[in-house]
């Protein structure tokens, strides 16, 4: 049984989240708090397995409460964030401070949209609550990157592009990886991180601030440059297209097939493989579900290379597990080794 503490200043939100969580027999709401001060007290007294934390609250907001909790009684915290640029910035601050992930809410149409998050919320609470906090090694970008010993890929072809897919726990994992890619990286990197539309721009900006390589939210039709990291905008899909024999550009679309997530790792990887057949390095990081498995299969089928994050470092071992069980991962490595593997592969 996973014990959950709900923190929100809205009685409606507390009751709505509580009823959704209580509908699953593996979850138990052991308490509720209406501000950050109550949250600190109840975390200490009730010892929950996981907390849902609102960002904006009176007396003490979610960010200040999170700081205290992570310094005194660290445990998994799932932020409940509004779908605004301000909400995105606050959520990214929370992830930097130790929150494991977030659930978006639409304040403009709360009664309708909050119900849509039920299945995802329950899945995240169960998987993250059961696993607990994942301890990561601190990697300081200013230090020389420790390169892992070279391992044999099944493909001997030169890597021309890197495609990365991630979901729950992905923002923090991507910070670890991209901040350790050297400035003169010789190929482009394309990333599909499951995020709402208002989040991907601020996330790209934040990655850019801490990285040697240039990081940006991708724009439709822009030429793809080596040494640049492109974040797929939320709410649609990102792929690539040939504009000349040796030139490629970003191709954005709002609707393609029956993909559950927008942006989709599968869509990105399948598209990249069409233009860079045999030259793709595919990487799947922490996340719920199996998005990316079909894309990684196609990368392997066309002679590319594949890396999956190991269970040890994943916040949620869902997407990488699916890739590993499908037998299409060349290497399965910890998060703190992935940047080195990517550099080695090109």
pLDDT 10s digits, 299-315: 999 999 999 999 999 99
pLDDT tens column, 232-249: 999 999 999 988 777 899
Angle among Cα 324, 283, 182 to the nearest 5 degrees reads 145
Q: How many angstroms separate the CA atoms of 12 and 111, rounded?
A: 9
**Picking from 45-49, 103-107, 198-202, 284-288, which range would have the lowest pLDDT averaged per residue?**
103-107
Question: E strands along 8-150, which residues?
Answer: 27-33, 50-54, 77-82, 101-105
Catalytic residue (choose from 9, 54, 194, 271): 194
Q: How many angstroms separate the CA atoms of 105 and 255, rounded?
A: 22
User: In the predicted model, what is the mean pLDDT of the chain?
Assistant: 90
Catalytic residue (choose from 54, 291, 330, 336): 291
SS3 state of residue 132: coil
Q: Is the pLDDT of residue 44 over 50?
A: yes
pLDDT score, position 143:
45
pLDDT score, position 103:
86
Which residues are bridge partners to 80 per DSSP? 54, 103
Q: Pick 2-131's CATH classification: 3.30.1600.10, 3.40.50.2300, 2.40.160.100, 1.20.120.1200.
A: 3.40.50.2300
pLDDT score, position 104:
79
pLDDT score, position 144:
47
Domain 161-345 fold: Rossmann fold (3.40.50)
Instruction: Compute CA distances 333 → 42, 314, 320, whole Å.
Output: 37, 10, 10
More confident call, 122 vs 259: 122
pLDDT score, position 123:
92
pLDDT score, position 147:
45
| pTM given for the model | 0.90
Mean pLDDT of 166-175: 95
Contacts of residue 77, Cβ cutoff 8 Å, sequence gap at least 6: 50, 51, 52, 53, 66, 69, 70, 94, 98, 99, 100
pLDDT score, position 110:
53
Which strands, in side-by-side order, build the sheet including 305-309?
Answer: 214-217, 228-231, 189-193, 161-166, 280-284, 305-309, 331-333
pLDDT over 70 percentage in the chain: 90
Instruction: Compute CA distances 175 → 56, 134, 229, 338, whole Å.
Output: 25, 15, 12, 12
Same fold, 2-131 and 161-345: yes
pLDDT score, position 106:
66
* Residue 194 appears among annotated catalytic residues: yes
pLDDT score, position 157:
66
Asked whether the beta carbons of 330 and 322 are under 8 A apart, the reply is: no
pLDDT score, position 150:
44
* Residue 167 appears among annotated catalytic residues: yes
pLDDT score, position 205:
97
pLDDT score, position 112:
56
Give the range with max mean pLDDT: 92-106, 130-144, 170-184, 255-269.
170-184
**Which residue pairs, CB below 8 angstroms and at least 24 apart, start in 133-138?**
133/74, 133/75, 133/76, 133/100, 134/169, 134/312, 134/313, 134/314, 134/315, 136/172, 136/176, 136/313, 136/335, 136/336, 137/336
Catalytic residue (choose from 167, 264, 271, 322): 167
Boundaries of every domain in the chain: 2-131, 161-345
For residue 83, name the pLDDT band (cuts at 50, 70, 90).
confident
Q: What element of type H or E holds 264?
A: none
For residue 193, name the pLDDT band (cuts at 50, 70, 90).
very high
What DSSP string describes 77-113? EEEEEESSHHHHHHHHHHHHHT--EEEEE-GGGHHHH
């Amino acid at each position: 049984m996973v014990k959950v503490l709900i923190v929100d200043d809205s009685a409606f939100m507390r009751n709505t989240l509580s009823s959704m969580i209580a509908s699953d027999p593996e979850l138990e709401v052991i308490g509720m708090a209406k501000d950050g001060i109550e949250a600190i007290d109840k975390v200490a007294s009730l010892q929950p397995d996981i907390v849902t934390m609102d960002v904006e609250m009176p007396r003490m907001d979610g960010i200040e409460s999170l700081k205290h909790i992570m310094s005194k009684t660290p445990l998994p915290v799932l932020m409940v964030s509004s779908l605004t640029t301000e909400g995105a910035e606050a959520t990214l601050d929370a992830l930097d401070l130790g929150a494991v992930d977030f659930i978006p809410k639409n304040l403009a149409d709360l009664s309708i949209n909050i119900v849509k998050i039920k299945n995802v919320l329950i899945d995240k609470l169960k998987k993250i609550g059961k696993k607990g906090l994942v301890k990561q090694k601190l990697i300081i970008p200013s230090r020389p990157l420790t390169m892992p010993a070279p391992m044999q890929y099944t493909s001997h072809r030169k890597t021309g592009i890197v495609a990365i897919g991630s979901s729950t726990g992905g923002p923090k994992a991507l910070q670890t990886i991209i901040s350790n890619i050297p400035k003169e990286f010789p190929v482009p990197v394309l990333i599909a991180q499951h995020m709402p539309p208002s989040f991907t721009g601020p996330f790209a900006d934040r990655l850019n601030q801490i990285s040697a390589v240039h990081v940006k939210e991708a724009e439709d039709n822009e030429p793809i440059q080596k040494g640049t990291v492109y974040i797929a905008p939320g709410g649609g899909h990102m792929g690539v297209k040939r504009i000349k024999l040796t030139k490629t550009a970003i191709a954005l679309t709002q609707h393609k097939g029956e993909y559950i997530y927008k942006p989709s790792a599968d869509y990105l990887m399948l598209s990249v493989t069409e233009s860079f057949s045999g030259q793709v390095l595919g990487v799947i990081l922490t996340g719920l579900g199996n998005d990316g498995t079909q894309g990684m299969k196609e990368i392997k089928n066309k002679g590319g290379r594949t890396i999956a994050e190991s269970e040890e470092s994943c916040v949620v071992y869902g997407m990488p597990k699916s890739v590993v069980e499908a037998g299409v991962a060349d290497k399965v490595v910890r998060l703190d080794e992935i940047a080195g593997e990517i550099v080695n592969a090109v």
